[in-house]
Structure 1
């Protein structure tokens, strides 16, 4: 461990010590609840759902009518110098959408609203996965830090005993050198474990918007996710299917927009000189000579094909991720069961006996170090196995999210 890293860690701990701390460590259920309340990604997904609902509301609105007024035959020459020959026309025109444009817009907006609803649920599931993993990583980092401190304390005591035995001439000077090297390694590992703890603490704090400088995680089992029925779609599949449906609706809208609309108008014309009035009626239809919206139709169809392909890929990815999570969970359960049973007890007992025997001169320093390293390794493997199990449960829960 470099001096600069040690100085950084020391300065970070001093800075955090001057800040207020929360009264209690956070449980997984509390972290999940707080994360859902304060997460920017959830706020973004909710805002996008509101926007989709607004577009759905607007999609069914018909075009507004237009009113126009025209004044003709004034301020000219001859008899048109004044306003005596003026003709005034007031008319109202109304566009009529043809080809099912309004219905197509409503279908697109409804599909996009459905997509936004599922996207919100996906954001919630993704956040839950991140919080579960971060909570488990913080708990594992705390366990590793405690173990590193314990190993360091044992190394300090071992160095003291080795120094005493060398001073009285029972062990050679090499024994003290080996014990001092072990002490230096334990100190470096303790600093590394503290750095990992600070990183894990910051990771969870960012997800739940906590300013607790001593944030810690309560040991809490990750709930086992319920299995999905064989014919049920995962959340990712539902989202991809919603995008496919929206793409199909956009194709129909592009085709409808290629149909020209009709604008009908009607009004009244007033002839000032004779004080007569007359009705006028008109119809206008664009001629689809240059623009038939073919490019947009082509693009919409291509987007639909891409959405269909994405749905197929998502189905493959979901099957793989679910199966992978199940295999990882089974393996982690086996490891936790094997490491937390008799093996850990035997390693602990061997280290205790070796320490007593070394003090009594029955074991060498190397034998004691081997026994302590075996115990440390067993504890670290158990911590990692429990962390892997939490990650697998989080991944399986995310794969089965609805």
Structure 2
């Protein structure tokens, strides 16, 4: 019984342990602990641009929602500390009255001693579950930051393509007007190029709006919404070819390493501990030490005990509830395992398709369309080619550049989702 009262309430699952797991799984830095009213962490040097790695670091250290999630670990540790506390002994006294002597009684609920290991064990596992969930949450924050960063770089690429479209269509319109002035083209032929130029300007305005919205969506969770979003430059590093393992290996890695799956399994184990603890509460046992003070005689001490007989209340309600929670947690684990498998398969298919699209557009379509536009523009200047063919080739080239940019962004998004879906693998 004394050994049961000495069960440790110190948890190995601390913020430092969460930080080490985030670093090992995703290469992410959690940053130091700070209060809500403390100054925000310093920003990196924005003069040379904001990289994707710096964006992830800012998301993990400046995102208020994630900082609030980290507070749940302190709550779990407080619950663990509370689970290890024993009830204070109760001292009661009865004053002398008539022939009744003055008496004292010291009562101690000793049943908490053998209940304590089960209660502390359940709280320890709950702390572990919370820590694993925080690792999963940190990986998710990093993934979302990477996806948002890709959205910003894609929006900037679309804006650049829109600028090129204005220049290309303006040049064609200038050539048509020049031919009209020398009598080689009719006035009607100048209408379509001018309309195309105006549409290119409108496309540019839309692309600029989309770029600003994408920047706001990225910078607001980082606490940078007060900055001029157009002043922040984002550094795009060329995507290195990732050595993605085959799908069966990815599934095995996800089932073994996903922290949310670990958290679900730990939660089931914690509920099992709670079930044992609830069953141990059927009996209650109170030890007492009584003392009587008689005038002619010294103090008389006598031990005593009170045992609660489980005749009517055998804690059936709490035991049944924990059993139901155990059944629910088991089904939730199976559902989560299915979701994990779907996440891996979906991200893998998306990455394969995006990789094929990148190769298709960059190696085949773009070079051929660039050559076709160069030759058709030259023929149009010489008067050997109608404008409609130049306009169609220009449209196809701009569309190909847009699709190539979309494919590169899809590839980066899918890779970020694939890494998260397998538990933060660094491939």
TM-score by length of 1: 0.85
- Cα distance in 1, alignment partners of residues 326 and 348 from structure 2: 33
Which residue of the partner structure matches residue 359 of structure 1?
Answer: 381
1:401 aligns with 2:423: yes
Partner of 1:119: 133
Residues 76-95 of structure 1 aligned to structure 2 (within 5 Å)? 87-95=101-109
Q: Distance in 2 between matches of 1:133 and 1:221?
A: 15
> Would the alpha carbon gap of residues 286 and 50 (structure 1) be closer, same or farther in structure 2, given more than 3 Å must change?
same
2:360 aligned residue: 338
* Stretch deviating more after TM superposition (147-156 or 96-105): 96-105
Q: Does 1:69 align with 2:86?
A: no
- Give yes or no for contact 2:64–2:221 (8 Å, CA) kept in 1: no
Uncovered stretches (5+) of structure 2, i.e. residues with no partner: 1-44
Which of these residues, 244, 247, 253, is aligned with residue 277 of structure 2?
Answer: 253
Corresponding residue of 1:263:
286
Give the CA deviation at 1:126: 0.2
Q: Is the 8 A contact 2:93 2:104 kept in 1?
A: yes
Counterpart of 1:295?
Answer: 317
Partners of 1:226 and 1:286 lie apart in 2 by: 63
Cα distance between partner residues in 1 of 2:289 and 2:421:
61
SS of residue paired to 2:308: coil
In the TM superposition, residue 392 of structure 1 has moved relative to its aligned partner by: 0.8
Distance 2:122 2:337 in 1: 24
Residues of 2 paired with 1:49 and 1:25: CA distance? Answer: 34
SS in 2 for 1:363: coil
Paired residues of 2:86 and 2:112 also in contact (CA < 8 A): no
Q: CA deviation at 1:299?
A: 1.4
Distance between the aligned counterparts of 1:310 and 1:277, measured in 2?
Answer: 61
Q: CA deviation at 1:285?
A: 2.2
Report the CA distance between 1:215 and its aligned residue: 2.3
Cα gap change, 1:53/1:217 in structure 2, threshold over 3 Å: closer, same or farther? same
Moved more, 391-400 or 276-285: 276-285
Give deviations 1:273-292, integer Å, cap 9, x for gaps: x4654334432223334332
Aligned length, in residue pairs: 370
Distance, in Å, in 2 between the alignment partners of 1:391 and 1:149 is 25
Tell me by how many angstroms 1:303 deviates. 1.1
Matched position secondary structure for 2:256: coil
Residue equivalent to 1:384 = 406
Query: TM-score when scaled to structure 2?
Result: 0.80
**Secondary structure of residue in 2 paired with 1:24:** coil
Residues 153-206 of structure 1: CA distance to partner in whole angstroms, max 9, x if unpaired? 222233333333334332233322211221221111111111110111112212
Alpha-carbon distance in structure 2 between the residues aligned to 1:89 and 1:104 = 36
In structure 2, the residue corresponding to 1:232 is in which secondary structure?
A: helix
Partner of 1:241: 265
Asked whether the 8 Å contact 1:326–1:392 carries over to 2, the reply is yes
2: CA distance, partners of 1:53 / 1:191? 52
Q: Deviations over 1:239-293 (max 9, x none)?
A: 2212222222222222222x12111111322235x46543344322233343322
